[in-house]
């Protein structure tokens, strides 16, 4: 439903009142949760049309997160590629270093208005947990984060961040002690006290109204970017590109451009070690329709319809399913879904670092890598806008350990250009994952 957050952009009146984007989405939850979801949904409809809520969120976006995030013309990278001009929407400059703060602030503000005492969520790599813990600290709510015991060990810096911010990190030891088990544990806790607690989902996934709500909170990215491009360049981009895990940063960018039929849209999924290896998380390309985590979408599954383990070098893209609006946009062919391997993402990670002084998140590196391919294809005079969803500080140790470039001289990049650079990197990569 249209509201004050999405005023002026084309949401195609989606989802419908039951949360469907075409055949995708909806709310497939246990009976006990149905009433709870309806309560969240009607509170969201009310609050998203309340000017005082919009004002409060806008103020926080500006004074706390640092919005609007700039659009940056990556001139050296564009020149090295020798094709279309590449522009970056700098979500990496947000407080906490990624786009997730956009929906975390919205969700926690909503929780506060609903009179909730506590926000809870699951987290895998800890990025959503940190964003939510930040918003909860800011707005004075308790915060419990459920995390697989395996992930608690693996993601020590984010566990420390959450604890410093005052959140309780609850290790989940059931099952494989990873993300899926954390989701189950968090939902169980939610059902025990839905009056005082609200579950805050970390992407445009889950039962209605979360795909809509998270999209709306993220739509600020596209609304700003569209205006900024028009102002700086006097024209819209020819193409826009974003990485797709659950799909929130991508929906945030895409939603302002859906109506601009001349703007080509690309969602980039993780091809991991290669689509043929089974070690990937390309839900759109390799998934089938089914119900996952309370909503209908394409997801990677076995013959019985159970989600299969998925893999990506970027832990934020490592999800078997994909948001329902993406599934719809895929089927009506408004958005092209493509994929990028781990290695291609690492190449872009280094390229952007060396040519622009911007270390991108490995998630965002997938979008940058595809934009480079597309820039060559589109050629000179065209413009591509990439959503740089987050910064890569969290990934530096991992990259240095697994993809070291110790003897590499940045001057070679400038001299040889991007193609040479990619070849150079490929030969220097010592241990492919």
Ligand X SMILES: *Cc1c(COP(=O)(O)O)cnc(C)c1O
Which is closer to ligand X, CB of 78 or CB of 389?
389
Rounded CA gap, 347 and 365, in Å?
A: 8
Q: Out of 3, 11, 41, 249, which residue is the one contacting ligand X (CB under 6 A)?
A: 249
Closest by CA position to 341, among listed 283, 275, 399, 252: 275
Which is closer to ligand X, CB of 312 or CB of 421?
312
Q: Any alpha helices (H) in 114-218, and if so which ranges?
A: 127-139, 149-154, 156-164, 179-192, 210-218
Which is closer to ligand X, CB of 80 or CB of 253?
253
* Phi, psi at 11, each rounded to 5°: -95, 10
* Phi, psi at 163, each rounded to 5°: -65, -45
Candidate segments 72-80, 226-234, 243-251, 301-309, binder of ligand X by CB under 6 A: 243-251
State in angstroms the smallest separation of the CB of 1 from ligand X: 22
Which is closer to ligand X, CB of 249 or CB of 325?
249
State in angstroms the smallest separation of the CB of 53 from ligand X: 23
389 forms part of the interface with ligand X (CB under 6 A): yes
Q: Pattern of binders to ligand X over 81-100, x per CB under 6 A?
A: -----------------x-x
Q: Give the contacts of 31 (CB within 8 A, at least 6 positions apart).
A: none
Q: Answer yes or no: 389 catalytic.
A: yes
Rounded CA gap, 27 and 37, in Å?
A: 8
Q: Which of residues 270-289 bind ligand X (CB under 6 A)?
A: none
State in angstroms the smallest separation of the CB of 201 from ligand X: 10
State in angstroms the smallest separation of the CB of 207 from ligand X: 16
Q: Out of 57, 243, 256, 359, which residue is the one contacting ligand X (CB under 6 A)?
A: 243
Kindly state the number of chain residues that form the binding site for ligand X, as judged by CB under 6 A: 19
List the beta bridge partners of residue 240: 265, 385
Q: Answer yes or no: 100 catalytic.
A: yes
> Which of 69, 78, 85, 100 is an active site residue?
100
310 forms part of the interface with ligand X (CB under 6 A): no
Q: Give the Å distances, CA to CA, from 247 to 28, 179, 387.
A: 19, 17, 12
Q: Which of residues 342-361 bind ligand X (CB under 6 A)?
A: 361
Please, what is the Cα angle at 383 between 381 and 11, to 5 degrees? 145
Which is closer to ligand X, CB of 237 or CB of 245?
245
State in angstroms the smallest separation of the CB of 364 from ligand X: 6
Rounded CA gap, 245 and 387, in Å?
A: 13
> Which of 48, 91, 389, 394 is an active site residue?
389
Residue 358: alpha-carbon gap to chain centroid: 19
Rounded CA gap, 253 and 265, in Å?
A: 10
Rounded CA gap, 366 and 48, in Å?
A: 32
Which is closer to ligand X, CB of 85 or CB of 363?
363
Q: Give the Å distances, CA to CA, from 323 to 2, 121, 330.
A: 19, 18, 11
203 forms part of the interface with ligand X (CB under 6 A): yes
Q: Out of 3, 48, 134, 248, which residue is the one contacting ligand X (CB under 6 A)?
A: 248
* Phi, psi at 141, each rounded to 5°: -110, 155
Q: Which of residues 99-128 bind ligand X (CB under 6 A)?
A: 100, 127
State in angstroms the smallest separation of the CB of 396 from ligand X: 14
Q: Any alpha helices (H) in 270-323, and if so which ranges?
A: 283-286
State in angstroms the smallest separation of the CB of 270 from ligand X: 10
Is-contact 400 393, C-beta < 8 A? no
- Both tokens of 382, joined, read 């065209």
> Which of 85, 91, 107, 122 is an active site residue?
122
Provide the annotated active-site residues. Answer: 100, 122, 389
**Contact residues for ligand X (CB under 6 A)?**
98, 100, 127, 203, 243-250, 316-317, 361, 363-364, 389-390
């Amino acid at each position: 439903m249209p509201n004050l957050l999405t005023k002026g952009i084309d949401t195609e009146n989606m989802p419908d009142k039951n949360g469907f984007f075409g055949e995708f989405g909806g709310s497939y939850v246990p009976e006990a949760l149905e009433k709870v979801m309806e309560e969240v949904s009607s509170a969201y409809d009310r609050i998203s049309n309340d000017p005082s809520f919009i004002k409060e969120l806008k103020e926080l976006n500006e004074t706390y997160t640092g919005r609007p995030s700039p659009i940056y013309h990556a001139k050296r990278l564009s020149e090295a590629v020798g094709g279309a001009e590449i522009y970056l929407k700098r979500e990496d400059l947000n407080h906490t270093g990624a786009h997730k703060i956009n929906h975390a602030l919205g969700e926690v503000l909503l929780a506060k208005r609903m009179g909730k005492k506590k926000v809870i969520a699951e987290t895998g790599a800890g990025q959503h947990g940190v964003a939510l813990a930040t918003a909860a600290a800011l707005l004075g709510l308790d915060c419990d984060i459920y995390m697989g015991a395996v992930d608690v060990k693996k993601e020590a810096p984010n566990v420390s961040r959450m604890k410093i911010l005052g959140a309780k990190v609850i290790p989940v030891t059931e099952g494989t002690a990873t993300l899926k088990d954390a989701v189950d544990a968090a939902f169980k806790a939610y059902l025990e006290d839905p009056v005082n607690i609200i579950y805050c989902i970390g992407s445009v996934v889950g039962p209605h109204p979360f795909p809509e709500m998270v999209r709306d909170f993220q739509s600020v990215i596209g609304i700003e970017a569209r205006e900024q491009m028009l102002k700086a360049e006097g024209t819209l981009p020819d193409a826009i590109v974003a990485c797709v895990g659950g799909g929130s940063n991508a929906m945030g960018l895409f939603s302002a451009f859906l109506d601009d039929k001349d703007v080509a849209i690309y969602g980039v999924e993780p091809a991991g070690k290669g689509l043929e290896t089974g070690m990937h998380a390309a839900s759109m390309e390799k998934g089938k329709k089914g119900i996952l985590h309370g909503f209908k979408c394409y997801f990677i599954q076995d013959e019985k319809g159970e989600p299969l383990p998925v893999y990506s070098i970027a832990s934020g893209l490592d999800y078997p399913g994909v948001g329902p609006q993406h599934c719809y946009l895929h089927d009506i062919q408004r958005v092209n879904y493509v994929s990028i391997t781990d290695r291609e993402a690492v190449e872009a990670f280094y390229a952007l670092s060396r040519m622009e002084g911007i270390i991108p998140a490995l998630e965002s590196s997938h979008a940058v890598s595809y934009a480079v391919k597309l820039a060559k294809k589109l050629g000179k005079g065209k413009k591509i806008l990439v959503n740089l969803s987050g910064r890569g500080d969290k990934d530096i140790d991992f990259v240095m350990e697994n993809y070291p470039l110790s003897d590499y001289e940045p001057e070679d990049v400038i001299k040889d250009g991007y193609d040479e650079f990619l070849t150079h990197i490929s030969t220097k990569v010592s241990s492919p994952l």
